[in-house]
Structure 1
Amino acid sequence: MARRAMSLIPHWSSRILSVELDGAPFYFSTREKHLGEEAPRVFREAQSDARLYSLLVCSGDKIRQAKLHGQLKDELLRELPPECHLSPMSSFVPNVRDSLLKGYFLKDHSESSSPTERLLRDLSRHDPVLVCSYLKREDLWTQHPWSGADSLTSDMAKDYYVVPSDAPECHPSTLNIINSDVFYSFEEAYEVLNKCGDIIPEAMSVLELLPSGVVARSKPDFPVIVIEGLDATGKTTLTESLRDALGASLLRSPPQCLSPMRACFDREPPLIRRAFYALGNYITAEQIGQEGMKTPVIVDRFWHSTAAYAIATAVSGQVCNLPAEGSEVYRWPSDLLQPSLVVVLTLDPEERKRRLSNRGQGETEEEKALDHNQLFRLKVETAYQRISGPTFVTVDASPSADQVLQQVLLLIRAKCHL
């Protein structure tokens, strides 16, 4: 039996499993005895000819686990018969931080089970992958954990009944957000990229650009104003106008020095990608500290964007699934410079889309998601508003650029005493 899977056995009965269907999680658990419950929805809706399996990546190393999770998906999509369908899946212990394991739920509609089971049998021999198959007996479904070696412990050798489970108090992804999707210290983000040096050469290039040491510091002599908002809300126009009106320095996050590495890290799993963007904020903070001793500083995006996009991506389903306001997930990193004021530009979705089309520019994958998924846009905006720390003001960006500029200048003069 895989060593990591062995370590999970004592908690197996207390774990809940979640399968993503149409972007929302559906929960079930396992039990040694059946008490007459109806089968969970994900099983009730399975077609009669479907064979069902689950795969969970169980490595104790966060970076290896993140890389293997992505590689596993690539391998399954490449090797499985076309009649197979994959859904994201996870396993977790409710309210236990860092207990979330990610994987995939597989429905196989192919004529023969041999190709799929041959692939899964091979995967189950790999240390960090736990494979389970599911069998229907009359109206009951059972789960059978596999082992690459034909020796299961007594606890795992038996089948378990699959039963419905209530939704947990908190969305399971929130258990692993801290220092996996959102980073709250320089050291935590640095450690991820430092461990990636052997497998991602660009990681060392990023580390060479970092300030020699980052500690919590007092604000610079001059105010620091961050402008946030989705693309096409007018950030570029506003930030450049503010620079000219205030005689300020203009900085952007992520900083220009990271541009050559962005494409590489955008292809990496969330853990590594988010650590890269987190460190970009610390590079920008160092630049702010230097410029803020001479002039006011305007910053085009900062930690709000890094955190809000990460939280909205990690937490599936409705806005109500986001961590509640006041959650530690929204806290500002204690060692990251806080701006004097954060202005978030908002815009009607249709007007924003019209402005984007007028640009004639291609959209990033995240922007495409925003345009086609109103729910994701709402989650990003909600996460923006819940972040604690610096003074935060929302400004309607639909008036003319000059009107928006004058409104923001009034805010700056009132709150930053310029």
Structure 2
Amino acid sequence: MVAAPPGPCFAVEGAGPDLIHFTLCSEGAAQAPEPRCFLPAPAKCYSLCVPATPSVPAARLHRRLQQSLRQGPFARCRLLGLLCYSSGRGAPAAVEKGFLIQDPQGGPETERALEDLLRSQGEQPPPPLGVYEAGERGELWQSLWALRRAGGRELLRRAQVVAAEEPPLHPAVSSLRSAAVFHCLEAARGVVEQCTSLIPEAKAVLDLVDKCPKHSKKGKFPVIVIEGLDATGKTTVTQSVKESLNALLLRSPPTCISSWRKTFDDEPTLIRRAFYALGNYIVASEIAKASTKSPVIVDRVEESYKRMENPTCKEVDASPSREEVLRTVLHLIKNHCGSL
């Protein structure tokens, strides 16, 4: 095992919870151990990565590659998640994400199919392809090839592959805050704006968001958010509370965009979460407006409620009978919201 150098390191996500870490050495390191994610001959391994930046093109490219690598000429291969990260001081920073492809048969057709796949993605230049091969003394080497769209390739580097020490934190930790977590309306809106030329429904979502008031203010009636796991009776309790209080029931995503859920659910995580984040802003506006006229019951948008004020949260045991759970919920509402 060698300490991680300042250059690029890699983490392979296997079937279990542990990551396999390796790095590249420009000088020969014959005594260094080989990472256990690489198969012995005649098997052969390949890798490809795309930038881990929170952008729509990179997210969609990663998704397309993932889908393509699970079918056709790659059906016999095993696909493992791969992170490329820098190992400077502090937490490691993930700079690229991609895949390690294990071909148990090691035939040349897999490498040709990978080159064709990368050239067909519309990227200029195509993502480079890493090819792993044993050296004369049994050591493992990575050859990184730049692919020309018209055909042919150029060697970018050749380095020995050796096992690396595990960093103190997961390589993706440093990029979690920017990967697909939106802390303001502008951040989520910016992602969906990038999709307007790719997803027709994106423009309609943005139009609805733009119609919402910039600052939502809750009315005098209480807003009650009911959260819970599936199959715990949450829907039944929600409906009963609505009828008991003569309240308005709202859901997230709101009705005005719920018909587009399937479209955005099929997109990468970055786009999907941006869609639901904007849905929360729309619901927050609906909650504020509705609470000026009657009590409001919200089925799962706790986040929308939090955007207006800090809520009081009470946990209710859902294991008793439906009637008893309803009595408990109504008792809590009256205690915290006064007479309705």
Both structures adopt the same fold (TM-score exceeding 0.5): yes
In structure 2, distance between residues paired with 1:102 and 1:62? 13
2:283 matched residue in structure 1 = 284
Q: Does 1:399 align with 2:320?
A: yes
Q: Following TM superposition, by how much is the alpha carbon of 1:271 offset from its aligned partner in structure 2, in angstroms?
A: 0.9
Deviations 1:136-156 (A, max 9, x none): 34453222222125545xxx5
Deviations 1:313-355 (A, max 9, x none): xxxxxxxxxxxxxxxxxxx98xx324633xxxxxxxxxxxxxx
Q: Which runs of 5+ in 2 are unaligned?
A: none
- Structure 1 residue aligned with 2:133, among 118, 132, 135? 135
Change (3 A) 1:300 1:61: closer
1:8-407 alignment to 2 at 5 Å?
A: 13-22=6-15, 24-32=17-25, 33=27, 34=29, 36-43=31-38, 46-58=39-51, 62-93=55-86, 99-110=94-105, 112-113=107-108, 115-123=109-117, 126=123, 127=125, 129-137=127-135, 138=137, 140-149=139-148, 150-152=153-155, 156-169=156-169, 171-213=170-212, 215=214, 217-303=216-302, 336-338=307-309, 340-341=311-312, 392-407=313-328
Q: Following TM superposition, by how much is the alpha carbon of 1:15 offset from its aligned partner in structure 2, in angstroms?
A: 3.3
TM-score (norm 1): 0.69
Maintained 8 Å contact 1:81/1:110: no
Q: Following TM superposition, by how much is the alpha carbon of 1:200 offset from its aligned partner in structure 2, in angstroms?
A: 0.6
Maintained 8 Å contact 1:179/1:188: no
Q: Following TM superposition, by how much is the alpha carbon of 1:16 offset from its aligned partner in structure 2, in angstroms?
A: 3.1
Deviations 1:250-292 (A, max 9, x none): 1111111222211111111111111111111111101100011
Q: Following TM superposition, by how much is the alpha carbon of 1:245 offset from its aligned partner in structure 2, in angstroms?
A: 2.3
SS in 1 for 2:334: helix
Maintained 8 Å contact 1:225/1:339: no
In structure 2, distance between residues paired with 1:98 and 1:207? 32
Deviations 1:14-37 (A, max 9, x none): 433222212535131313253844
What residue identity is the alignment partner of 2:114?
L
Change (3 A) 1:97 1:263: farther
TM-score (norm 2): 0.83
Q: Following TM superposition, by how much is the alpha carbon of 1:167 offset from its aligned partner in structure 2, in angstroms?
A: 4.4
Change (3 A) 1:60 1:255: closer
Q: Which runs of 5+ in 1 are unaligned?
A: 1-10, 307-331, 342-391
What residue identity is the alignment partner of 1:30?
T
What residue identity is the alignment partner of 2:288?
G
Query: Per residue, is there more helix in 1 or in 2?
Result: 1
Q: Following TM superposition, by how much is the alpha carbon of 1:53 offset from its aligned partner in structure 2, in angstroms?
A: 1.0
Q: Following TM superposition, by how much is the alpha carbon of 1:71 offset from its aligned partner in structure 2, in angstroms?
A: 0.9
Deviations 1:25-58 (A, max 9, x none): 5131313253844322323xx3442201111013
Change (3 A) 1:120 1:209: same
In structure 2, distance between residues paired with 1:414 and 1:41? 60
In structure 2, distance between residues paired with 1:214 and 1:187? 14
SS in 2 for 1:226: strand
In structure 2, distance between residues paired with 1:292 and 1:42? 57
In structure 1, distance between residues paired with 2:330 and 2:82? 48
* Structure possessing the higher radius of gyration over alpha carbons: 2
What is the aligned-residue RMSD (CA, Å)?
3.0
In structure 2, distance between residues paired with 1:259 and 1:159? 50
Change (3 A) 1:215 1:178: farther
Deviations 1:97-147 (A, max 9, x none): 97442211100123522x111122345555252321222344532222221
In structure 1, distance between residues paired with 2:337 and 2:34? 59
Q: Following TM superposition, by how much is the alpha carbon of 1:91 offset from its aligned partner in structure 2, in angstroms?
A: 1.8
